[in-house]
Amino acid sequence: MALLIFSMISVAGLIALRQTNLSDSVHPAFAYVLFIGAITWLTMIEGGQGSLVGLQPVKTDLYKDSHAKAYKSTAITTKGDNLDRYLLGRQLMVVIVVFCVNMSAGPVGGAEIWGYPSWLKNVFFEFGLAMILITCMIGQLNSQVNASLCMLDYINNYFSLFTVWVAMAIEFSGLLHASYLIQILVGLMAGKKIESNEPPRSGMNNVFFWIRILFSCTVLAFCTAVTMIALFDGKTTMWEGVPASVALIVFIVLMCIVGMLEGMQIAFFAVAKLPASERGNSFFAMKTCHLLFQGEGNNLPGFMIGRQLCVVSCMFFVARVTSVDMKGEANLFGVPDFIQSFFNTGLLGALMLTIIGSISWQLVASAFPIAFLSNPITYILLRWCLLLENTGICQGAWVIAAVHKKIAGFQRDEVYIGTAEERAKQSMADDDDALQLGAGHLVKLPNFTMGAPHALQVLIQQDSAVEKYIADLAEKLEEGDQKA
């Protein structure tokens, strides 16, 4: 919390002193508005995803009257394949909003404030630790914590509904439809049919679908061309003195790291409910699963926290690498100044990162989760994410979540709709088939709670003998799987 408060005060001061990417060219008030607005929207995007995915199997009649606004959102996402469409559009929203956060409050090169020593400026400004902590703890982790337990209350507002509409509009625009081409190719490679809740497209709907795929591929190729030319010509906001070849290598490595982390999240949840004997038999698959699911299973939510920190760090670096800065020279392709100004925002890089560095990897991981587990890089990144989480550097998110929950008056979903067992007794059991998993689907759950039934969790906490029995039983089952 001390690091977070220090970071917030420092960033606020940098904006006031016109020492950030946006405030050095516009009035600081505008930078403040964009920064606060982007962070606020990010909390709804992240929390909304957890809520809408978590509520997908729950019968909407249970909360239709008590949470009318939440019902308006779930009425959209529970229809047909709309949840997949929402998740696709949301993916670009997250990247764009993080880029806007960096644009509005990211320190300029050589930023000076209040006589900070060089080492402190390098760590918090040049390396970007201040922006990373603010974005992770305030914009993402705190909302995911509350949304994993208080789904109904979290999205029971028109801000959430507006966010759903925007995500659906982004998907409908066709900007991300290249992802569907990747989805089809992945399904063919895996020999698996992409399951759908809708009948096959026909007639003009099919023509419109493929036109948007062609449009998306064209836009993606253009974004790639602009980014690559800017990188090779040294016309980005990359640090001075870094050769173009090094900048390109850094960009590719960061894209691969983000892709691996996005794919790992999908792969881990794909195998979470599988018996140990079906989680792969390669050396690294077994080591990864043993580390991930050992003990009480706390390493899975621990990975999610460390992963968030790592992904945001990479995104800020990618934003620096891909944001165009012509340094007073002629515009790219001779375009007018207003188009060049759009190039300079880095949003073209954001679109490329979303499709190539995020969605593509998730789709591959959804079809080949065991292959992801068998990759040694997966094990290394898992270790790294757990190390980041164990430093405690993001533990302030729990404090912010508790304060937010208190102010907003959030209550756990069980208060309104009961537990899954209670709903089943009332002939309102959850429809687990409503949540589509597997090849071609981007569903990923922010697992901040243990997977055991609530009653068992309480019993384990109250009786140490029960805890020991469960641990011994799990150990024996694992030994039996290894022998088999």
Q: What average pLDDT score do residues 230-259 get? A: 76
**Count of CB atoms situated within 10 Å of the CB of 8:** 16
Provide the pLDDT confidence category of residue 451 given band limits of 50, 70 and 90. very low
DSSP readout, 226-239? HHHHHHHTT-BSSP
Question: Looking at per-residue confidence, does 26 or 341 come out higher?
Answer: 26
DSSP 8-state secondary structure symbol assigned to residue 113: -
User: Given this model, what pLDDT does residue 450 score?
Assistant: 41
Task: Judge if 203 and 240 occupy the same domain.
Answer: yes
The residue-averaged pLDDT of 227-256 equals 76
Q: How many CB atoms lie within 10 A of CB 9?
A: 13
Q: Does residue 425 sit in the same domain as residue 469?
A: no
Of the ranges 42-51, 264-273, 308-317, which one carries the lowest mean pLDDT score? 264-273
pLDDT at 481: 47
Q: How confident is the model at residue 168 (pLDDT cuts 50, 70, 90)?
A: very high
pLDDT, average across residues 51-60: 81
In a shared domain, residues 332 and 386? yes
Crossing angle of helices 299-322 and 376-390, rounded to 10°: 100
Residue 387's alpha-carbon distances to 137, 186, 263, 380, 383, in angstroms, are 17, 32, 19, 11, 6
Residue recorded with tokens 């008056």: 409
Nearest alpha carbon to residue 445 among 210, 273, 311: 273
Q: Are residues 380 and 473 in the same domain?
A: no
Residue 236's φ and ψ, nearest 5 degrees, are -125, 180
Q: Which of the four pLDDT bands, split at 50, 70 and 90, describes residue 484?
A: very low
Q: At what angle do helices 299-322 and 204-232 cross, to 10 degrees?
A: 70
pLDDT at 480: 52
Q: In this predicted model, what pLDDT tens digit does every residue of 258-302 receive, in sequence order? A: 888 888 877 777 666 556 666 667 777 778 777 777 765 567 777
pLDDT band at 169 (very low <50, low <70, confident <90, very high): very high
Q: Which residue has the tokens 């990162």?
A: 353
Residue 206: how many CA atoms within 13 Å on its side-chain side?
A: 5
Residue 15, H or E segment: helix 2-16
As a whole number of angstroms, the distance between CA 164 and CA 103 comes to 24
Looking at the chain, the whole-number percentage of residues with pLDDT higher than 70 is 80
Cα–Cα distance, 147 to 118 (Å, whole number): 39
Residues 6+ apart with CB under 8 A from 371: none
Check: CB of residue 243 under 8 Å from CB of residue 333: no
Which residue reads 């957890």 in tokens?
50
Q: Are 250 and 317 in contact (CB under 8 A)?
A: yes
- The two three-digit tokens of residue 457, written as one number: 């969790």
Q: Return the number of other C-beta atoms located less than 10 Å from residue 336's C-beta.
A: 9
In this structure, the answer to whether residues 430 and 478 fall within a common structural domain is no
CA distances from 352 to 95, 236, 323, 355, 359 (A): 10, 16, 12, 5, 10
Judge if 480 and 337 occupy the same domain: no
Specify whether 293 is located in the same domain as 259. Answer: yes
User: Which of 101, 135, 129, 108 shows the shortest CA–CA distance to 31?
Assistant: 101
Place of tokens 């809520």: 51
Q: Is 20 left (phi over 0), alpha (psi -120 to 50) or beta?
A: beta
Residue 161 has a pLDDT of: 93
C-beta of residue 56 within 8 angstroms of C-beta of residue 437: no
Lowest mean pLDDT among 67-76, 209-218, 232-241, 345-354: 232-241
In whole angstroms, give the CA distance from residue 450 to residue 80.
Answer: 30
Q: What's the mean pLDDT in 140-158?
A: 85
Question: Looking at the predicted structure, is the pLDDT value of residue 447 above 50?
Answer: no
373 Cβ neighbours under 8 A, 6+ residues apart: 267, 271, 279, 280, 282, 284, 285, 288, 289
Q: Are residues 413 and 467 in the same domain?
A: no
Q: Are 475 and 370 within one domain?
A: no
Backbone angles phi, psi at 84, to 5 degrees: -60, -40
Provide the residue type at 393 as one letter.
Answer: I
What's the CA gap between 365 and 438, in Å, rounded?
Answer: 9
The residue assigned the tokens 């063919």 is 188
| pLDDT over 60 at 449, yes or no | no
- Regarding whether 458 and 447 lie in a shared domain, the answer is no
Averaged pLDDT, 329-346: 73
User: Is 392 in the same domain as 465?
Assistant: no
Tracing tokens 């757990």 back to the chain, one arrives at 386
Displacement of CA 441 from its chain's centroid (Å): 15
CA pair distance 380, 377, nearest whole angstrom: 5
Spatial distance between the Cα atoms of 258 and 206, rounded to a whole number of angstroms = 32
Terminal alpha carbon distance of the chain: 48
Higher pLDDT, 436 or 407: 407
Percent of the chain exceeding pLDDT 90 equals: 9
Mean pLDDT of all residues belonging to the chain: 78
What DSSP letter does each residue of 169-224 carry, written as one string?
A: HHHHHTTTTHHHHHHHHHHHHHT-----SSPPP-THHHHHHHHHHHHHHHHHHHHH
Q: How far apart are CA 220 and CA 218, in angstroms?
A: 5
| 458 lies in the same domain as 424 | no
Domain count, the chain: 2
Please say if the pLDDT value at position 156 is more than 60. Answer: yes
As beta bridge partners, residue 324 has 236
Structural domain including 472 reads 453-484
396 falls in which pLDDT band (50, 70, 90)?
confident
